[in-house]
Amino acid sequence: MTKLLKFSVLWLTLLALMALSFPQRASAHGVVWRQAPSDKTITLSFLYSDQTPMKYSKVLLHSPQDPEVPYQSGVTDVNGGFAFIPNVPGLWKFAANDGQGHLSSGELEVVFPEVPDPAAASTNAADAAPAAANAAPEPAKAPALASGGSKSPSKETIGLGLSVIINVALLATLLWKKPKPLPKNQA
């Protein structure tokens, strides 16, 4: 191995170790989602862990009735928002993917308010509310603190990945040798 190659490998290894020793924020980050309270629609906000929105990320939403076929698919808006109107109560599953390795997924329990039984209601027309009896049930307001997310990679995980890359590069340079020239025959 040439002196220049050995020097380069040593220098790159030292730089990598120095970079790992300085405390700084990692450029990789996790993602989170939040639910905004609403009367009729359910609005989710997808954010990175540094609170910047997951703009224009693909979202898949699955109904409790059919977990295989998406109920709705779409893209988050410029603020990372995505809204839907559920048609049945139950556990809804969703996932947002920005196409760059960030995925936020979760489950959300949708509960519809109880609708009074029309048979048990008063027969007096003045007491009954015909519009309320014919109205479709609306989802209950979501708690303002509903949220979830995924974990960001730790410094140890990032350091381990860099260490593996550096060690593989060092091993490759040590194994890659020029063949020695054959000695000349002297007669």
Read off the CATH number of the domain in which 49 is found: 2.60.40.10
> Residue 7: is its pLDDT beyond 90?
no
**Whole-number Å distance between alpha carbons of 68 and 20:** 43
How many domains, the chain?
Answer: 1
pTM: 0.49
**88 domain residue, yes or no:** yes
CA-closest candidate to residue 78, choices 103, 52, 104 = 52
For residues 73 and 87, which has the higher predicted lDDT (pLDDT)? 73
**Per-residue model confidence as pLDDT tens digits over 17-76:** 666 666 555 556 678 888 766 667 899 999 998 999 999 999 999 999 998 999 999 999
**172 domain residue, yes or no:** no
Tokens found for residue 59: 């979202």
pLDDT of residue 17: 67
**Whole-number Å distance between alpha carbons of 48 and 149:** 9
**46 domain residue, yes or no:** yes
Q: Which domain holds residue 98?
A: 30-113+128-137+144-151
